[in-house]
Amino acid sequence: MERLKDIEVDESWTLFLDRDGTINIKLEDNYVKNWAEFEFIEGALKSLGTFAKLFSRIIIVTNQQGIGKELMTHEDLADIHKKMVKVIEYYGGRIDQIYYCPFLALPEPTCRKPMPGMAIQSQQDFPEIDFSKSIMVGDSKSDIDFGNRLGMKTVMIVRESYTQSEYNADLCVSGLEELISYLKTT
């Protein structure tokens, strides 16, 4: 399995990011339903500023079944994302687009990771996206499966001891800051 530290990343690459557990703290057995519940993971803002200089596109792909469970609305999510992007931009980062799937896990809608719907939509919106020159970063098996299905390089964020083979990811890291140390730039 090819390691990310052996891949040279340039401005033609795209970075796909999960949200909960990757950018912000995931609420166990719950959903981030409003801005008051949203908290950036330590180091995420600084990392997003670095990524903005390395990648042509930075895309968030996030399952948000809290909407399907009627725990929050599309408007609640839009408010969270608007404020999140504003803070990211203040710290020198950027998000080019956010795609989300509001549906319940069953009956496995095509937009819900690990299905490829959000990536296909991103490629329709940004035709220059090449999945073979993309990295998917997330904290769940569905994130890694999503990236693998599309031929992306995959990075698993884990908070405990881990092995790469457990997740079928190209790389396992403790957070976005650690990922930066594995990227070679031209």
Active site residues: 18, 20
| CB 54 within 8 Å of CB 48 | no
Buried b / exposed e along 44-83 (16+ C-beta atoms within 10 A): bbbbbbbbbeebbbbbbbbbbbbbbeeebeeebbeebbee
| CB 117 within 8 Å of CB 110 | yes
Integer-rounded Cα Rg, in Å, for the chain is 15
CA distance 86 to 88: 6
